[in-house]
Amino acid sequence: MKRRDFLRASVALAAGAVGASGAVRAQTGAARFCDMHAHLGFRQASYRAALASGDMLLVAEKVTPDSPIVRLVGNRLASIREAAPGELRKNFEDGLKRRRQKIRDEGMIEVTSVDGLARVLADQTPAIAISAEGADFLEGDVAYLEQARAQGLVHLQIVHYYTQSLIGDISTQPPHHDGLSAHGKDLVRACNRLKILVDVAHCSNVAMEHGLWLRLSIAGRRLRLLWQPLSRQHGLGTMNYGTACCNCARDAMRATVAPVCGLGSL
Q: How confident is the model over 248-257, as pLDDT tens digits?
A: 445 554 554 4
Cross-strand pairs, 59: 35, 128
Q: Is residue 265 part of a domain?
A: no
Q: Is residue 149 part of a domain?
A: yes
Q: Is residue 47 part of a domain?
A: yes
Tally of structural domains, the chain: 1
Residue 230 has pLDDT above 50, yes or no: no
In the prediction, which pLDDT does 251 show? 52
Domain of residue 214, residue span: 3-260
Q: Is residue 72 part of a domain?
A: yes
Q: Quote the pTM value.
A: 0.74
Contact call for residues 184 and 177 (beta carbons, < 8 A): yes
Contact call for residues 144 and 138 (beta carbons, < 8 A): yes
CATH of the domain at 253: 3.20.20.140
- In this predicted model, which residue has the larger pLDDT, 226 or 239? 226
Q: Is residue 75 part of a domain?
A: yes
Residue 11 has pLDDT above 70, yes or no: no
Q: Is residue 115 part of a domain?
A: yes
Confidence of residue 44 (pLDDT cuts 50, 70, 90): confident
Number of Cβ atoms within 10 Å of the Cβ of 140? 12
Phi-psi region of 86 (alpha: psi -120 to 50; beta: other; left: phi over 0): left
Q: Is residue 266 part of a domain?
A: no
Q: Is residue 170 part of a domain?
A: yes
